[in-house]
Amino acid sequence: GVTRLYPECDLTSRRSLNLLHNEYLLAVQEYDCYVAKHKHKPDYHVLIEYFEEWRINRSELFQENERVISEQDFLEYYLNDVKSSRLLKASEYTEEDYRFILKRERYLASQMFKNNCPGIYGYQELNIRQSKKRQDYCLNVLKKRFE
């Protein structure tokens, strides 16, 4: 059901599995409380009502991007991409200059990462840790300097 509602949700990620496990625990709790209170199992209409309530109140958790990354992950990805895509050709520089440029690129990527981590709720699309769009945008900004 979750993938039908949110096709971009990655149900193989640790985050999604944890969310689903917690939703399962809540569902069991709600079911047991309902049976204890009403002395019978909920019927179809009650279950649909609970599902609609869940969809409204909890679904935003599953809409968030699954690609949560650390600063180290971002730096490694960027530097490996720069090296493998030949944006920075080692043959064009002395070994010392090449190492200096890589060190400088690491610093610039680190600053880019730190400047794109707002902790403001409601603006997750600007948080490089959570937003694939923001990650791609920042990577492109960094790589454009080589063009």
Q: Contact, 62 vs 9, CB < 8 A? A: yes
Q: What is the CA radius of gyration of the chain?
A: 23
Question: Phi-psi category of 118—alpha, beta or left, where left has phi over 0 and alpha has psi -120 to 50?
Answer: beta
pLDDT in tens, 54-101: 767 776 666 655 567 899 999 999 999 998 888 888 888 999 999 999
pLDDT tens-digit series, residues 93-135: 999 999 999 999 999 999 999 999 876 777 878 889 888 889 9
Q: How confident is the model at residue 147 (pLDDT cuts 50, 70, 90)?
A: confident
Question: In terms of pTM, does the model score above 0.85?
Answer: no
- Burial (CB count within 10 angstroms: exposed 0-12, middle 13-18, buried 19+), residue 144: exposed
